[in-house]
Chain A
């Protein structure tokens, strides 16, 4: 294992985060805070409890997930796409590294940023809405697992994309709608029975449900199913990255 390479990539990517701190951290924290103000304090105060939790507190896990998914995908996809776009990828391809080191460096940095962001949003939420965390250990587990999994997914998008439009299309056209429809703002029990069944095909439902359980002990689906679904997606992404590096798909001609 080339640990120096892991450290070099990780440090490089974290430096990029701090160079663009407004875009990477401040902007998502601000936009999520606006959700807390509008949906949590303003509209939320006029809405009833959901599963015994005030609406303002109910949406906190969903909003954190919304930012976590978007930023994990964005950070990781951008991190590996930029060297491809700028042509500096030659250095990575000619270096004595395997996909393990590359993934640890890029995905590790992207996941770190996402976790930092998640924690910042959590702290910010405290200014607007009171909430409790019933299972802090599992909350951290879900936070880290989701950040890693979706950073890995973003990394795959970055490897696959060969223009900026492709880089944006999946986060904007797939992930964001799935997150909004995945129970970020409501419990799926509020939906008509038919749509309750349909929504179970949305993988984000399992992420938000599991994460919300760690806060309030309530969930739309079994928490074990949530954890297994996330782990399954993580395994799928790992296999995809392994295959990309092994075959050279979109990397080595």
Chain B
């Protein structure tokens, strides 16, 4: 496997206010992947991104970007990064084309109107190239921020809550763009509140809570490891309670006693379903239908953030 494009080691951040935003975070981002960083508000997502990008100073620990230390060799490290911030911070009086030209120059790239045109066209902004940013809608401003981040052809793109407050169409446009950038070789790191976004986009997922990285895993592995399946049996006759003879089973009554829900671990070789069905028959409990469901990433996320992954699907 190639060396990680971003390597974070034992990163700690305590703000002047005393708030401990990051605690001993270590993380490797693989070249060419889409990495989703999930976490509730104040978890440390933006602080982590801001340190890597050079906006916030770390209290301790180290970060390398493409082999370059972000402090000692900041020019080389930063020139590879594009950042789309969470806030819609734009030069409101500036025109769209001019603001991209500014961003490209700021990151040390020679003027290239053709590249800027390409970026603007891809983000459906070409018609707005001579418009002042203040005249654009919120969604358009979000596109401008993405275009600015892409103006200097970065190999790493940070998207901090990129689809917060944007409509469904723009969200799907962004997802398509992110996939295309990844296909072209870029590495994408996104933070999001939208679980479906991580589920849809990410190759790997990191969950951060209270400044600590709770888990980093391939999306599929994470769902397999921490995901629980549930088997729901629709009963022919209503039950008032789970029979005492089945009390040792992970069973719950649902639908006002018309259904039994059996929770099982996808990791074990034996799900216990066959044994359960046999015991139900022995107890004379008949069912007319059954279906299984898998816990969503959202349920896993909630479980992880609250420190009870085993209850994620319960």
Contact = CB atoms under 8 A, between A and B. Distances in A.
A96 B83 contact: no
B194 interface: no
Contacts of A83: 91
B54 A94 contact: yes
Contact of A87 (B89, B94, B104): B89
Given A2-B75, A15-B98, A252-B55, A95 B107 contact: yes
Interface string B64-102: 000000000011111101010101011111100010011
B85 A90 contact: yes
Interface string A11-50: 1100110010000000000000000000000000000000
Contact of A88 (B89, B98, B104, B111): B89
A186 B105 CA distance: 47
A86 B89 contact: yes
Contacts of A252: 54-57
B165 interface: no
A214 to B, nearest CB: 36
Interface residues of B, number: 36
Nearest to A3: B108
A9 interface: yes
Interface string A70-85: 0000000000000100
A141 interface: no
Given A248-B57, A253-B56, A253-B57, A96 B75 contact: yes
B91 A86 contact: yes
B105 A5 contact: yes
Contacts of B108: 2, 4-5, 95-96
B26 interface: no
Contacts of B148: 91
Contacts of A87: 85, 87, 89
Identify which of B94, B98, B105, B110 gathers the most chain A CB atoms within 10 Å of its CB.
Answer: B105
Given A90-B83, A91-B148, A96-B79, A4 B90 contact: no
Contact of A7 (B74, B98, B105): B105
Contacts of B105: 4-5, 7-9, 11
A93 interface: yes
A97 interface: yes
Contacts of A7: 105
A96 B87 CA distance: 21
Given A94-B55, A98-B75, 4 more contacts: A5-B108, A7-B105, A15-B98, A96-B79
Interface of B: 15-16, 53-57, 74-79, 81, 83, 85, 87, 89-94, 98, 101-111, 148
Closest 4 CB pairs of A and B: A8-B105, A87-B89, A96-B75, A96-B78
